[in-house]
Structure 1
Amino acid sequence: MTYRILLVDDEAMTKRSLYKILTGANASYRIVGEASDGAEALQIARREQPHLIITDISMPVMDGIELIQRLREDGLDMDIIILSGYGEFEYAQEALRHGVVDYILKPMKQEQVTLLVEKRFDHFMKSRQTAIIKSQLIAPISSAAERIGHELWIANEPGMRKEMRSLSSLLDDTEFMQEERISLLRDAASLISNRLQPQFPHQAWELPYEGQSYGQASESFAAWLDKLLNEIRDKRNWGKRGVIQQAIDYIKTNFADSELNLEKVLAPLGISSTHFYHMLMEETGMSYIAYLTQIRMDHAKELLEHSDLKTYEVGQRCGYPDYPHFTKRFKRQVGLSPSEYRKNMQQA
């Protein structure tokens, strides 16, 4: 892996010394540019995007302090080491306030230069490895967060806890530092919040205070999920949710009954059709007829794709004994006739 370095100093001898020290210290170091003032260095930095800049403070045209300020204004966050003389301590302090990672006192000592650059190179390699591992975790963490959000929304506590364990396992198996694990936990919390919005406005997860360990953050995260679960149960009238689930199970079991109507579904439940309508809308976002039709059409598509039944037989098995009515309803829902749908699936 090449580590790109830009040297900035108005003294040619200093740049030659740095070049010799660094190119001889590590084969991964590559000097991508040399500049004699801040303005020249800024142009090179924009073009070459170095990982490290070693710059003098006192230079003509644009000094090191202004160079650092301009780099940060441009959003360039590479590491910067400053070269400082004994009489430039106040300038060095100002540079450190702008995010400079270290400084080298002039006259330079080879051991100091080598040690400081090696330290930044090691940090760069660890950060790069962390970024690679994190990128590999994005998909599984996103998937786990999506599943947690789903289980929360349907108020399935066992399912939520199972997915929480899956997420914890992902984070526990990494070699990340505590701060990086907490960052990933924040990402998961954000994804869960997005999954629940806008149907369920809620307070986002926040750590009670900074500086917590990963274990403390994990406990706080679990407590937040428990709080969300209880709030969702309260909002959705949890005591009556079992009723709506019974109705849904009944529809899924009996959708092939061509005479399946709302009265049949509600008969064993003891709730009004108006109350049921609101509960079903909250659970599925659909009315009774729309939900029943969706269940029937999904099953019809399965049979058309994976069975040799004639299309009128598919209609009969899905609650449509009248074939023209089945064809009309299927085309309105799917956009194709049953025969066209089957043909498309066979050609796919």
Structure 2
Amino acid sequence: MMYKILLVDDEAMSKKSLVKILTSANSSYLIVGEASDGAEALRLAEKEQPHLIITDISMPVMDGLELIHQLRSSGSRVDIVILSGYGEFEYAQQALRYGVADYILKPMRQEQVTQVVEQRYERFVKSNHRVETKNRLIAPVSAAAERIGSELWIANEAGLGKEAESLRHLLEESELSDEERVSLLRDAASLIGSKLKPQHDTAAWSYPYDSKSFEEAAASFASWLEDTLKDILEKRNWGKRSVIQQAIDYIQEHFSDSELSLEKVLSPLGISPTHFYHMLMEETGMSYIAYLTHVRMEHAKELLEHSELKTYEVGQRCGYPDYPHFTKRFKRQIGLTPTEYRKNMQQK
């Protein structure tokens, strides 16, 4: 990405020297404009959106201080470096109070110019890299939050722990700062809460706003998930309605059986399909077929990501001996074919 620089000085030779120094110092530097006063610089800055402005202080029409004041008043956070003569120290101090990044003394020395601009460029590159890294993480963090919400809703403690640990590992391995990791974790909590809210009145996650430690935030996040799971189980009174848990346990153990019918699940439980259907909908928000498909697809994703099994073998292990039917069902549920899903996971 090119680093866009705007030069502002009423002395033509000064601008010419800067252009020569900068264009020979780094091929990523791009001079996007040259202005002779602050008013002209404002117009160019709005048009070109530079990353850095190098401006003289003493200029006609609008001087450097007024230019800086106008930029900051408009909300611009562009980096600004001022050109200051030895007799302009008081003006330079005032400019620094406006949030100027640095200054270059006149008469300019090539070494000072390249050093000051290189420092700003390095900060720009690092900041840009962090933004790109965070943007790349938004989709996987959102997907992880979706899976955590699903595991919470069906009260699958083992699956919940696994997905929560995967999310923590994803953020820990990123190149982000603790503050940025905490921000993404908070976003994940908000998404989970949004997923559960229409179905279950959960308590909001209370995040310690004065803390920037990811370790503390991750611990709070884990506690919140644990408390939410307990709350869900208590409100559903699942301990007294163990028939649902027995049925879910049975499905989890026998999902690979392609002939796993509702009759098989209910035969040891002694309840009618109609009664079971209503109870299952109340507890999981899903019908029997939808829940069985969800379990099978979650296991299929796990095998596709962490095993060397061929895709048709994955289908067989998950209760789909007919490969075309497995592929069709998987794509409808996940949005990708099994082969596409595996390829995506391998690229991460």
Question: Which interval holds the TM-score relative to the shorter structure?
Answer: 0.5 to 0.7
Distance 2:63 2:321 in 1: 75
Corresponding residue SS for 1:198: coil
Alignment partners' CA distance in 1, 2:147 and 2:122: 37
2:269 and 2:222 map into 1 onto residues whose CA distance is 40
DSSP 3-state at the match of 1:7: strand
d(CA) in 1 for partners of 2:150, 2:290: 20
Q: How far apart in 2 are the matches of 1:224 and 1:152?
A: 11
- Per the alignment, residue 134 of structure 1 pairs with 134
Question: CA distance change for structure 1 residues 254 and 24 in 2, over 3 Å: closer, same or farther?
Answer: closer
Report the Cα offset of residue 19 of structure 1. Answer: 1.8
Please say which of residues 60-69 and 172-181 is displaced more in the overlay. Answer: 60-69
CA contact (8 A) 2:243 2:269 kept: no
Larger Rg, first or second structure (1 or 2): 1
Report what 2:143 is aligned to.
143
How far is 1:269 from its partner? 6.0
For structure 2, the 5+ residue unaligned runs are 295-319, 326-348
Q: Could you give the per-residue CA deviations for residues 145-188 of structure 1, whole angstroms, max 9, x where no partner exists?
A: 21112112222221111011211222232233333333332332
- Aligned residue number for residue 37 of structure 2: 37
Alignment partners' CA distance in 2, 1:223 and 1:248: 25
Tell me the number of residue pairs that the alignment of Structure 1 and Structure 2 aligns: 288
What is the CA–CA distance in structure 1 between the aligned matches of 2:185 and 2:194, rounded to whole Å?
A: 14
TM-superposed deviation, 1:118? 0.4
Identity of aligned residues (%): 57
Cα distance 1:7–1:254, how it changes in 2: closer, same or farther (>3 A)? same
Determine the structure 2 residue equivalent to 1:261: none
1:221-280 deviations in Å (ceiling 9; x for gaps)? 2223223223333333342453334567899965579xxxxxx9998469xx7xx89855
CA deviation string 1:273-299 (max 9, x = no partner) = 7xx89855533557xxxx479899x9x
CA distance 1:103–1:283, shift in 2 (3 Å): farther
SS of the counterpart of 1:23?
A: helix
Could you tell me which residue of structure 1 aligns to residue 161 of structure 2? 161
Partner of 2:207: 206
Task: Tell me what 1:224 maps to.
Answer: 224
Q: Determine if the alignment matches structure 1 residue 91 to structure 2 residue 97.
A: no
Cα distance in 1 between the residues matched to 2:263 and 2:269? 18
1:97-151 per-residue CA deviation (whole Å, 9 max, x = no partner) reads xxx3223344443322211110111122222233333333332222112111211
1:61-118 CA-to-partner distances (Å, cap 9, x unmatched) read 334344345445655433222334312145224312xxx3223344443322211110
Partner Cα distance (1:115, 1:209) in 2: 36
Q: Which residue of 2 aligns with 1:193?
A: 193
Residues 1:62 and 1:203: Cα distance change in structure 2 (over 3 Å): farther
- 2:125 counterpart letter in structure 1: M
For 2:289 and 2:155, the matched residues in 1 are separated by 25
Q: How does 1:12-51 map to 2 (within 5 A)?
A: 12-51=12-51
Deviation of 1:28 after TM superposition, in Å, equals 1.7
> 3-state DSSP class of the match of 1:239?
coil
Q: Are the counterparts in 1 of residues 154 and 284 from structure 2 also a CA contact under 8 Å?
A: no
CA distance 1:278–1:101, change in 2 (3 Å) = farther
Separation of aligned partners in 2, 1:168 and 1:188: 11
Deviation at 1:198, TM superposition (A): 3.5
Pairwise CA RMSD: 3.9
CA, structure 1 residues 213+256, in 2 after alignment: closer, same or farther (shift >3 Å)?
A: closer
Amino acid at match of 2:226: D
Give the Cα separation in 2 of the matches to 1:73 and 1:34. Answer: 22
Q: Which amino acid aligns with 1:121?
A: Y
Tell me if the contact between 2:207 and 2:217 (Cα under 8 Å) persists in the aligned partners.
no
TM-score (norm 1): 0.67
Q: How does 1:72-83 map to 2 (within 5 A)?
A: 72=72, 76-83=76-83
The equivalent residue for 2:67 is 67
Counterpart in the other structure of 2:125: 125
CA distance in 2, matches of 1:228, 1:295: 21
Structure 2 length normalisation: TM-score?
Answer: 0.67
The answer to whether the 8 Å contact 2:82/2:102 transfers is yes
Query: Are the aligned partners of 1:57 and 1:65 in contact in 2 as well (CA < 8 Å)?
Result: yes
| 1:315-326 matches, cutoff 5 A | none
Moved more, 277-286 or 111-120: 277-286
3-state SS, counterpart of residue 230 of structure 2? helix
Determine if contact 2:96/2:102 at 8 Å carries over to the other structure.
no
Structure 2 CA distance for aligned equivalents of residues 121 and 245 of structure 1: 59
1:338 equivalent in structure 2? none
Shift, 1:38, TM fit: 2.2
Q: Distance in 1 between matches of 2:224 and 2:290?
A: 35
